[in-house]
Amino acid sequence: TVEIACQNTDDDSRDASSPGGTGFLLTSFTGDLTSAIRPGTVDLLIFNPPYVPTAGVPTPFATNELNGEKQAVSDADSDVLSLSYAGGMDGMEVTNRLLEQLPSVLNVDRGVAYILLCKQNKPDDVTQRIREWGAPWKVDVVGRSGKHGGWEKLQILRICRGSYPSCGVALIRK
Q: What is the CA radius of gyration of the chain?
A: 18
Task: List pLDDT tens digits, range 136-145.
Answer: 999 999 988 8
Distance CA 174, CA 168 (A): 14
Q: What is the pLDDT of residue 105?
A: 94
Task: List pLDDT tens digits, range 67-115.
Answer: 555 555 544 455 677 878 888 999 999 999 999 999 999 999 889 999 9
Say how many C-beta atoms besides its own lie within 10 A of residue 119's C-beta: 16
90 vs 172, which has greater pLDDT?
A: 90
The answer, yes or no, to whether residue 130 has pLDDT greater than 80, is yes
pTM: 0.75
Contacts of 18 (CB under 8 A, 6+ apart): none
Task: Kindly state the percentage of the chain with pLDDT values over 70.
Answer: 61
